[in-house]
Structure 1
Amino acid sequence: MDSDNDNVHDSSDAPAIFIIIGQTSRRKGGDMSPVHVMLAAPDEDTAVRLCLDALSSKGFAEADLDQIGLMDGAPVEEPHASAYQGSLEGEVAVIAFD
């Protein structure tokens, strides 16, 4: 069970970083390509809304979001390491695999 108690989290100052995995297309009915989106958000609903807004602003016409989860630490491999750092700084990081 999640709690807002700071004692529950290892680093109470760090925001919750979500990763959302799905498929996107730049045009309606087009071929779908994998995408990973990393962002800070207070809850899953907000994370999904911010993700969809970011995908739309980057020119994606369709998105099928498959999974959402919380990151339990910083990844070491690129491009996810940079995306994680950007997310800590308030960015919505979109990693598109074309």
Structure 2
Amino acid sequence: MNSDSDNGNLPDGEAGETPSIFIIIGQTSRRKGGEMKPVHVLIAAPDDDTAVRLCLDALSAKGFAEADLDQIGLLESMPDEEPHASAYQGALEGEVAVIAFD
């Protein structure tokens, strides 16, 4: 017998589950040895190792040359304030949401 909760083939969210949304806090630079600026990344991932790998891939794809990741945590609910609320919604939809501060 196979129920929805037993079916490992369903993507996150299809069986009524909310995917785990991680927030990764660190600093980035657009060039090697450049000035580091704060960044927050919100991402849906099954575990923290995957979240870190996807975060680094996304930062590289967005033109960041260096990243120092300081903290990782799970968000239990949508943040109340922008830009994190929109980023959380984007992460729920499968996007890697990068909030870069100048």
TM-score normalised by L of structure 2:
0.84
Question: What residue ranges of structure 1 are gaps of 5+ in the alignment?
Answer: 6-11
Dislocated runs of 4+, deviation >4 Å: none
Match of 2:73 among 49, 69, 74: 69
Equivalent AA in structure 1 for residue 38 of structure 2: P
1:19 aligns with 2:60: no
**1:36, distance to aligned residue in structure 2 (A):** 0.0
Q: Distance in 2 between matches of 1:30 and 1:57?
A: 18
Aligned residue pair count = 88
Match of 2:41 among 37, 43, 53: 37
- Root-mean-square deviation (CA), in Å? 1.1
Question: What residue ranges of structure 2 are gaps of 5+ in the alignment?
Answer: 6-15
Please state whether the residue corresponding to 2:79 is helix, strand or coil: coil
Q: Distance in 2 between matches of 1:47 and 1:25?
A: 20
